[in-house]
Structures are given as C-alpha cells and as structure tokens.
Chain A
Amino acid sequence: NAGVMQNPRHLVRRRGQEARLRCSPMKGHSHVYWYRQLPEEGLKFMVYLQKENIIDESGMPKERFSAEFPKEGPSILRIQQVVRGDSAAYFCASSPKFNKKSNYGYTFGSGTRLTVV
C-alpha cells in the first residue's frame, strides 16, 4: 500500500490515560504533518517533522502533547493525561521535500478518531 497509513482508526481512552497515534508516510516522503479536526471544524495544523527533527511545532498545545519522527519507524503523536477536549480526529499528511512551486502531494491518511471518555 503506497498511501499514508494511520493507526489505529479509532481509539478510546479514559481521562488521564495516554494516547499514541501512529503515522507511516508514503514511500519516498520525508516530511510529516499532524493536524487536528474538531467536530464541525476544518483541520488545524499541529506540528511538522522531518526524520529525527521537529521543523515547526507552533500548533501544538504547550503541555501534554509531543511528536516524533524517528530515523526508523512511524511518526508518533503522543497525548499524555488525555482530557475530554482532546476528543477529535487527528490526521497525518506526508510530502516529499518542500518546493514552493509544487502542489506536492500533501497526501493525507484516513485519520485517527480519538474519543476520551
């Protein structure tokens, strides 16, 4: 499968637990972006990563949220001590190297729906 793979598709966590969301980019893509979509809203940028490097985390909440993209393996978005307000759809997108003139493939995964109970 050449697409962006996200797992799990659905994740239920109790308040205070940790949530780990995984994203495997498309083959050949070295850049990963995480977005959050609240109900009835558009997607909001969270973080932009290259392998072993966070490029921009200006959209990440200051506490409880972290992201990584290790040399080997998928990108991980980690939410510690989840609260009900974290319930949302979390999308990952990947792309090849940034090119200002390109409509380069912001290929999105199918998302992870996180529900905090």
Chain B
Amino acid sequence: AQKITQTQPGMFVQEKEAVTLDCTYDTSDPSYGLFWYKQPSSGEMIFLIYQGSYDQQNATEGRYSLNFQKARKSANLVISASQLGDSAMYFCAMRENYGGSQGNLIFGKGTKLSVKP
C-alpha cells in the first residue's frame, strides 16, 4: 500500500486564485512529520512547509498553508493568490519517527501545477 497518495497528477489554476493540492498518507506511527516540497522545471527541491503530527494548529508559511486533518490522514497544501512562478511539481512527503528508518522521507508521486495568466 502506498504511504503517500497524491491523486491529482495535474492541476490548473488561474493567477491570483487559491488552489488546494491533495495529499493523503498512511502510517501506524504515533509520531510523524509531513512535508511539502516544490520542484520547478530547473529540478531543485525546495522545502515549503512542515506539519508535525502532534501540532495543534495547521502550519502556515506565507502564501502556503497546510490543511491537516489527522483523523482523515490528509495534509492538503493550500496556495493562496497563485503566481506564475508557482507553476511546478509539488511533492508531499512523510517522515515516520519510530517505524522504519529514522529520518528518511517517503514521497508521493507529485502534482504538476500550472498557473494560467
């Protein structure tokens, strides 16, 4: 079974509008972390936002926020006021703090976001 599922291979959004990228995860660890990365066409991996499983509040970083629904095991990324520079691949990832190897990340297959002018 996949540990990280991103069901949207591609998404389009109009510039200046908000967009939600879906991510669901599967783990039996009581403690874990969830990450979102952006990969532009140049190829580098850019860290966007982090949510710990015990964090009470949803994480926010500028225009990025994470809609964390623990019971549903979902960690959707919300980008507000989309910009043309947001066009990229977006990856959701999880770190299991007890099971498996401590420290490594498990990635989803990604969502390609295209922002239309």
Interface centre among B35, B102, B109 (most CB of A within 10 A): B102
Write out the residue numbers on chain B whose beta carbons fall within 8 Å of the beta carbon of A44: 107
Query: Given A100-B97, A113-B43, is A45 in contact with B33 using a C-beta cutoff of 8 Å?
Result: no
**What's the minimum C-beta distance from A65 to chain B, rounded to whole angstroms?**
16
Write out the residue numbers on chain A whose beta carbons fall within 8 Å of the beta carbon of B35: 103, 106
Size band of the interface chain B makes with A: 20 to 34
| A side interface size, CB within 8 A | 30
| Contact of B45 with A91 in the complex, beta carbons under 8 Å | yes
Considering the complex of A and B, which 4 residue pairs feature the smallest CB-CB distances, nearest first?
A103-B50, A42-B107, A56-B101, A108-B45
Chain B residues close to A by CB (< 8 Å)? 4, 31, 33, 35, 37, 42-47, 50, 52, 91, 93, 97, 100-110
